[in-house]
Structure 1
């Protein structure tokens, strides 16, 4: 826990969470309250087959009964912020030949893809009666039309057979949507289907970059539907307060600590100004998420993002960092992060001009999309994170070298659903075993809060999925990131459908988090110098060949070790800073004035309306912990990071 001046021990303990490591509390919390900048899940439409064949018997009663149970299970577990709709076909007619003309137009949007209303969704599905035909192509068009006009969108289709109403052919409809540039991914679940239906559903899913999954019976569907739908919701959604960077430094917008959202064009550079107090450390990062694209060769599938720092009067400070990612067409998210400590150095004042990159003042951070892969849009959203860490008057304990020891957990594990972007990464509740299921071409994020003195160690087990041969070969990857989006460690390998563990050498581990780690001789250890959320990213790449796609079960074994300890003492609070002081103000009491003792620092929540009571302080703490978004990015097939000064 960080300390401000000489806070008494009890007060420090009471503020431990509010002052935890690298948290962008107030500005991020305010941004997340805005509908324009809040991290969002991809709006998703469920399409349920209610044709007459769904009246076939199943262990759950009928197949329709099983589908309803699966939807209820999903609705009870889906994130409250998600947007889920329901479309159904086959409920309005019989399935006799005389019913076909009307039955092939029988598609109804029962629930629009608005913010999740579990009760309404369950009520809508409970009223479904299966009886008619199977107009899948028409249902796909109407479901896509009911989704928002822009941004990532998803469809999850559950069917027990192939389309009985062509034209339109459902696979051609899926191709048309993709050719129109609709940012839509469709996942299909075959419910006890035959080979013909499986081929058609697979074609539809693959045409949009989605996945096909088999569910042999009702219990299997109940397990599968929530997993597949959760994956559909995981599409990356950029978030932040809108900002517009400039081509040159001299009129760049001034960014205070927080998360921002801009766009960046191919080969373009944009500038942002940040006022860095004397002695403070500045954190700046940019993240671009690339769209999933089919049929991109490996030689055309690389992007590079870099950032350069400029000082007063636009002087180049020789601070340059770049990140590159291949297999961007898998939908990779690429982050470049800069930790700038020039303001911690004293100005030279020797006439050389070097003083313009030292000491407190206005600095400029300039990201560039330097290398561009084939087929990507001309402009893409870029998330920008800005943080300010004040000078430390007492940095706390010395740096330590021994990494956190990994202890293998026991038991079957706790099911979790990883987040589709850094903004919605799923928090892992300390040491333990966690299980998830990834589709080929998908990567997910988890976060692990670490206090001062704590560290983590983990490994990922990719389980067998029944796939065989070259059609099932894909690249797998895991990486761990600091709160400031700097990659700490990464490992990658090939997956062939059989068990495989990453990292291959046993486990990734951080050292106990201490401020003084930034002075370590070990480069990666320097990144483990701030408390906050550390991020674990897990990826399953697209399979090497076309064919049936099998979901991959993963098991994440995690150890959180070390003993919580005091962090650094900071010289002062910084408005909208990154260590919790953005939500706090300090007032030194005077005994003569009837206030607290002179050596006591009173810390109050500085929200609208003045001093906060203990309840509102708790709210600030909750926001500080829940709102952390300084996070890492999962890269594509191979990611290489280089730092040059």
Structure 2
């Protein structure tokens, strides 16, 4: 998918912030927590064109080779510490195409690894334009460099047409090795047949083509390709170590926490209520694997009884979706609310929070990180509760009309790094096995609709002959399943079995339940998870195993008037009423009462998605989308993004 200049500027701004946030996640092992594995990044090999044409000028006055060196050094500086990255060049030793070995002229100058950043910089310093353009052989050798297991990516940087045959079949052969391998391509000031060839490599290689017209664009595009290649599931929170005995459990406050999963063992945490009658919410999210199909982790909230036992407040179901042999996002939530205001779960001064492996062998997920989200909601008096309208009926689907797509928004891989967007149409593309997440503010009396429109091509029609493998769902503010099934889809949505006759676009959609206070007392997951307003998350998953990149648009619409059915909360110092902007992932500070915490009145007049004076990712997306072609320069834009990220730390 060709990126416009505006898109590249937006990608550069977004990726500057994402790389900064990624480095913050990697860090050292937290004090007081079990020793945890660092985030698992993919293995990437940079494949660089050393052909003689790289000495030609790029836009902005610099030569292509000089601009590429500057860009590569910036990318190396921003690489996560534990990302396996290597470098291969081609056209660096044999000068002419008629000379022996011209079509095998490629060298691995830095082996993939984590402790090789100085070697990468030295290789960049010695990177010079010289010979021909043997792209097919360079791709084949790069595939050998990165091995056959795990998430692997080749980032090809080239300015010309292959001088040793068509590289597209080579790209296809590499992509056929598995769903966890992709080839992204950065084209340096190319046009005509050369550009078509590089675009074909990206298409066959299940990757993305980035067009760089000038020196500035080269850096932006290489950064964009490397960020997507290395991005892992991300989690956020303050380290905490739950205990197997609830009497010894650590005390937690509202906020986010990170712990590790233990095999068949509960981990307990204690929570002291701010005031009687508050509702305490607990959500969790973690990355599972295909072999733990029967291994789930449940969030629990309990109260201690007079005889020293625990009585659980609610029963909950953890939601998960399998992505073939790829990783999957697993999530769930529960809360302490009870219909009887005199029940201990409503009145106890202290609650016991827990996670527990509920069924099957949890060995496959033992040691993995789990993110916990804790929120305390102010009490609602019995009189105010009686005055609330009854629980609303499930909403029905309304087909949406896509608008002009906004480009440059990078979807997250999990809730923790999901950008927060507003109503509109957004342009994305997705690879097999990917899990893409965006956040949307949803208020009282509102429900969310998301519509997926794929641009159909002949390869997609062929692969999707019996089913598209695309799934959409909605996750509630604290990780609960909030999706309402669409029971009847229009005929032109191309149901399974008719995809070969599909028109230019294929459509599906999802919607959430209407946010209402009484939903929390319902037995259904989609209802119980929408008993609270806040950032809802649309998750797009692509489950087929064939390496076909799918460009699509996602149209977002919040239905209903915000504030409808909002309860009248009692005033409690330190607690604020939940709003559509409630976002527990906007700050890493434990004890921060969501994004709307601002004191007793809950108005939060100064900061939208963080504590007072901070801007969250929703503001970032509005800033980026509003720039268009106006005169805000790249440096100023990147600086603004970095400042936003730093304020959120």
- TM more than 0.5: yes
* Aligned-pair CA distance for 1:439: 0.6
Task: Confirm or deny that 1:186 pairs with 2:150.
Answer: no
- Give the aligned partner of residue 401 of structure 1: 392
Cα displacement string for residues 350-381 of structure 1 (whole angstroms, at most 9, x for unaligned residues): xxxxx4x4512222222223345799464211
- Give the aligned partner of residue 593 of structure 2: 578
* Aligned-pair CA distance for 1:245: 1.1
- Give the aligned partner of residue 569 of structure 1: 569
Could you tell me how far apart the structure 2 residues matched to 1:198 and 1:190 are? 18
CA contact (8 A) 1:308 1:320 kept: yes
491-500 or 282-291: which moved more? 491-500
- Give the aligned partner of residue 416 of structure 2: 423
Could you tell me how far apart the structure 1 residues matched to 2:46 and 2:427 are? 27
Cα displacement string for residues 123-170 of structure 1 (whole angstroms, at most 9, x for unaligned residues): x99996432589xxxxxxxxxxxxxxxxxxxxxxxx832239x9xx54
* Aligned-pair CA distance for 1:184: 4.8
- Give the aligned partner of residue 441 of structure 2: 449
Distance of aligned partners of 1:551 and 1:197 in 2 relative to their CA distance in 1, 3 Å threshold? closer
Task: Confirm or deny that 1:483 pairs with 2:477.
Answer: yes
Task: Confirm or deny that 1:359 pairs with 2:352.
Answer: no
Distance of aligned partners of 1:324 and 1:580 in 2 relative to their CA distance in 1, 3 Å threshold? closer
Distance of aligned partners of 1:70 and 1:198 in 2 relative to their CA distance in 1, 3 Å threshold? farther
Aligned pairs (5 A) from 1:99-110? 107=109
CA contact (8 A) 1:405 1:561 kept: no
Distance of aligned partners of 1:553 and 1:125 in 2 relative to their CA distance in 1, 3 Å threshold? farther
CA contact (8 A) 1:52 1:131 kept: yes
Could you tell me how far apart the structure 2 residues matched to 1:69 and 1:523 are? 51
Distance of aligned partners of 1:268 and 1:623 in 2 relative to their CA distance in 1, 3 Å threshold? farther
* Aligned-pair CA distance for 1:254: 1.3
Could you tell me how far apart the structure 2 residues matched to 1:564 and 1:70 are? 51
* Aligned-pair CA distance for 1:49: 2.1
- Give the aligned partner of residue 557 of structure 1: 555
* Aligned-pair CA distance for 1:551: 0.5
Classify the secondary structure of the residue corresponding to 1:392: coil
Classify the secondary structure of the residue corresponding to 2:526: helix
Distance of aligned partners of 1:218 and 1:518 in 2 relative to their CA distance in 1, 3 Å threshold? same
1:531 to 533, 546, 549: 533
* Aligned-pair CA distance for 1:185: 2.9
Task: Confirm or deny that 1:620 pairs with 2:611.
Answer: yes
Could you tell me how far apart the structure 1 residues matched to 2:562 and 2:596 are? 20
Task: Confirm or deny that 1:270 pairs with 2:267.
Answer: yes
CA contact (8 A) 2:47 2:157 kept: no
Could you tell me how far apart the structure 1 residues matched to 2:227 and 2:52 are? 27
Classify the secondary structure of the residue corresponding to 2:298: strand
Task: Confirm or deny that 1:331 pairs with 2:336.
Answer: no
Could you tell me how far apart the structure 1 residues matched to 2:58 and 2:24 are? 44
Higher relative contact order (CA 8 A, sep 6+): 1
Could you tell me how far apart the structure 1 residues matched to 2:403 and 2:603 are? 44
- Give the aligned partner of residue 235 of structure 1: 232
Aligned pairs (5 A) from 1:293-304? 301-304=293-296
2:427 to 416, 431, 435: 435
> How many positions carry a matched residue from both structures?
511
CA contact (8 A) 1:343 1:360 kept: no
The TM-score normalised by the length of structure 1 is 0.63
Unaligned segments of structure 2, at least 5 residues = 1-20, 31-37, 188-192, 203-207, 211-220, 487-494, 576-590, 620-649
474-483 or 35-44: which moved more? 35-44
- Give the aligned partner of residue 136 of structure 2: 161
Unaligned segments of structure 1, at least 5 residues = 1-28, 116-120, 135-158, 348-354, 587-600, 606-613, 629-645
**Which is richer in strand?**
1
Distance of aligned partners of 1:109 and 1:196 in 2 relative to their CA distance in 1, 3 Å threshold? closer
Classify the secondary structure of the residue corresponding to 1:524: helix
